[in-house]
A and B are shown apart, each in its own frame.
Chain A
């Protein structure tokens, strides 16, 4: 019977039906970090339980790591406590930890893929809502809370309700200066921030098929901002080419056999969907959020809606009907699990090469991982950013959620390549976030105001692929 990838992967991991009707689902890969796990390990201890399959959990440190001075102990005592707790817990239970000294540390959703830990057909859980990122590989990946982290540690399973599948087909060519970030912001704008509740989003269509893995990760990453806990792309040759040779991926002949299994998991051509929508890539423009949730966005050449939410307008200091172009920014942030991979840094660097950050703007680039940082340095991107007046930082989540020293002050406005523009998200309760692509952030940093990257970068500058 024809089926979607979601259903095939689900069925392969279903242990049994529980008495209440939920499915006991096996979690093939469990990723952990320092913020949402210390309490989970304490709960295990309190219940006298151990970790069932320690080899199926991998940890790293990302949310609280300082991006300037990473010497231990951290200056922030609480941050040091959290990292120490993770180290102790991993050591005690035999869990592999990719820490600062490993050379593999980074945002959990960046390092999983780049090390080949993330693979098609897996079920992946992590105490972080952006776990949907891993769906770019054709995995079923979702965020969980701390008590569920406890359950996964104890049993390698979760009790889950089934999901419906909505196929979102994006077809055609993206215009110059239009990126994966703009595609997902447009999807969220159209379907709403709660439109995905109860659904897994399957991203398909020629536009998605032509995207690199980095771009697919940007799309899947923000599924949760549209209310969908799971987002995925069917695995294909692009996926396999990305994975080949990565350290945790199957090697040699195993890789060919793995490819056959992965291919068999892709949604069948005539698979039934619970919903299906189509988006014309050519209709998507460079997109910027104006409000306090990721669905409140406009194309850069559009005006804010006449019926814009008054609470959001008041918080942001904007007016209905205005344009965002020309809005003065204070901070520019290139980073986060959405847009801090090498290709994102390359796009931003292309804009700022030979230019300089506006004098009133504080601009920082926070690579998604130590490996991304090292690869960027090998290409000389660090020099491009530093010469342009950007700060070049260590890897981590940084100013996406400001659990480390990187944060906004007062009502500052930040042009940000991250994923959430919630009130207070970037560390100042009254701080304001404008979400956009890394190229748009770079252009805003130089101009000092929000600009249309298509006009900012002369026609001679290639944007995107």
Chain B
């Protein structure tokens, strides 16, 4: 696999307000009945959009968004990677939120889609700006951990290890994990339940 370094992302944004938006809402379980991830983006927030015709994910003004803005505990619930897959396949390349569920966060990392955290005030400011003018451009820089919109700069945060993984391209960890397989075998051999030597 070629190493893809991820440093800057910019574009318009899709604001999805609300705390505790779970992965069943992001992609209802009936759409998991497939042996591929193809086409999942068509069903992103499908039931929410059905129940709330003004849902931003159904609003053509946000169609070309590359950044998603969310509130707290986004992606809680099921470990289905189908949730970040549906978001990524819709063209979103980074998510900014107050907080993320850990499994969703990890699943997004391995897709090369950073989930950055910001304060409630920052999210409120960014969401309001985007709702007022959907053509508002947001620029993210993982080196400086800043987001810029309408000439204003906002502070973001991301765990140092994960930030480093995006910057050095090691977010796709398969190759890295296979690098020194003899060390993996050595750890396995020391574990009684693996070796059978109780």
Q: In the complex the two chains form, is B35's CB within 8 Å of A20's CB?
A: no
| B181 CB contact (under 8 Å) in A20, A35, A52, A430 | A52
Q: In the complex the two chains form, is B193's CB within 8 Å of A403's CB?
A: no
Nearest A residue (CB) for B28: A424
Of the 9-residue stretches B3-11, B54-62, B96-104, which lies at the interface with chain A?
B96-104
Of the 9-residue stretches A104-112, A190-198, A378-386, which lies at the interface with chain B?
A190-198
Whether A82 contacts B33 in the complex (CB less than 8 A), given A145-B80, A429-B28, comes out as yes
Residues of B within 8 A of A148 (CB): 106-107, 110
Nearest B residue (CB) for A49: B174
Whole-angstrom distance from the CB of B163 to the nearest CB of chain A?
Answer: 8
- 1/0 per residue, CB under 8 A from B, across A44-77: the answer is 0001010011001000000110000000000010
For window 65-122 of chain B, which residues contact chain A by CB distance below 8 Å? 72-73, 76-82, 84, 99, 101-103, 106-107, 110-111
Tell me, in angstroms, the Cα distance from A257 to B162 when the chains sit together: 40
Indicate the member of B25, B164, B174 with the most A CB atoms within 10 Å: B174
Q: In the complex the two chains form, is A21's CB within 8 Å of B160's CB?
A: yes
Whether A420 contacts B24 in the complex (CB less than 8 A), given A159-B176, A193-B76, comes out as yes
Tell me, in angstroms, the Cα distance from A144 to B161 when the chains sit together: 18
Residues of B within 8 A of A225 (CB): 77
Q: In the complex the two chains form, is A161's CB within 8 Å of B35's CB?
A: no
For window 155-184 of chain B, which residues contact chain A by CB distance below 8 Å? 159-162, 164-165, 168, 170, 173-174, 176-178, 180-181, 183-184
Whether A19 contacts B73 in the complex (CB less than 8 A), given A36-B79, A155-B178, comes out as no
For window 106-154 of chain B, which residues contact chain A by CB distance below 8 Å? 106-107, 110-111
Q: Does B42 contact A (CB under 8 A)?
A: no
Q: In the complex the two chains form, is A56's CB within 8 Å of B194's CB?
A: yes
Q: In the complex the two chains form, is B37's CB within 8 Å of A154's CB?
A: no
Q: In the complex the two chains form, is B47's CB within 8 Å of A423's CB?
A: yes
| A145 CB contact (under 8 Å) in B25, B79, B161 | B79
Residues of A within 8 A of B24 (CB): 401, 420, 422-425
Residues of B within 8 A of A429 (CB): 28, 47, 50-51
Q: In the complex the two chains form, is B33's CB within 8 Å of A423's CB?
A: no
Q: In the complex the two chains form, is A261's CB within 8 Å of B198's CB?
A: yes
| A227 CB contact (under 8 Å) in B82, B101, B168, B191 | B101
Residues of A within 8 A of B53 (CB): none
Q: In the complex the two chains form, is B36's CB within 8 Å of A158's CB?
A: no
Number of interface residues of B (CB under 8 A): 63
For window 12-55 of chain B, which residues contact chain A by CB distance below 8 Å? 18, 20, 22, 24-25, 28-30, 32-37, 47-48, 50-51
Nearest A residue (CB) for B19: A194
For window 384-443 of chain A, which residues contact chain B by CB distance below 8 Å? 401-403, 420, 422-425, 427, 429-430
Residues of A within 8 A of B170 (CB): 18-20
Residues of B within 8 A of A19 (CB): 164, 168, 170
Q: In the complex the two chains form, is B30's CB within 8 Å of A402's CB?
A: yes
Q: Does A254 contact B (CB under 8 A)?
A: yes
Residues of A within 8 A of B165 (CB): 20, 22, 159
Tell me, in angstroms, the Cα distance from A162 to B16 when the chains sit together: 30
Whole-angstrom distance from the CB of B40 to the nearest CB of chain A?
Answer: 11
Q: In the complex the two chains form, is B191's CB within 8 Å of A13's CB?
A: yes
Q: Does A368 contact B (CB under 8 A)?
A: no
Q: Does A229 contact B (CB under 8 A)?
A: yes
Nearest B residue (CB) for A397: B29
Q: Does A218 contact B (CB under 8 A)?
A: no
Nearest A residue (CB) for B167: A20
Nearest B residue (CB) for A254: B198
Whole-angstrom distance from the CB of B72 to the nearest CB of chain A?
Answer: 7
Whole-angstrom distance from the CB of B49 to the nearest CB of chain A?
Answer: 10
Of the 9-residue stretches A122-130, A208-216, A454-462, which lies at the interface with chain B?
A122-130
Tell me, in angstroms, the Cα distance from A166 to B161 when the chains sit together: 23
Q: A121-B191, A293-B76, A429-B47 are in contact. List 5 more A-B contacts (CB 8 A).
A: A15-B187, A76-B33, A145-B107, A258-B198, A422-B77
Between-chain CB contacts (< 8 Å), 20 pairs: A12-B190, A20-B168, A21-B161, A26-B187, A28-B193, A38-B36, A122-B193, A127-B79, A128-B79, A143-B79, A145-B107, A147-B107, A154-B178, A193-B73, A227-B76, A229-B103, A261-B198, A401-B24, A403-B33, A427-B30
Which 7 A-B residue pairings sit nearest by Cβ, starting from the closest?
A: A145-B81, A145-B107, A143-B79, A21-B161, A257-B198, A155-B177, A20-B164
Q: Spell out A's residues near B (CB within 8 Å).
A: 12-16, 18-22, 24, 26, 28, 35-36, 38-39, 42, 47, 49, 52-53, 56, 63-64, 76, 78-79, 81-82, 85, 119, 121-122, 127-129, 131, 142-148, 150-151, 154-159, 161, 193-194, 197-198, 224-225, 227, 229, 250, 254, 257-258, 261, 293, 311, 401-403, 420, 422-425, 427, 429-430
Q: Spell out B's residues near A (CB within 8 Å).
A: 1, 18, 20, 22, 24-25, 28-30, 32-37, 47-48, 50-51, 72-73, 76-82, 84, 99, 101-103, 106-107, 110-111, 159-162, 164-165, 168, 170, 173-174, 176-178, 180-181, 183-184, 187-188, 190-194, 196, 198
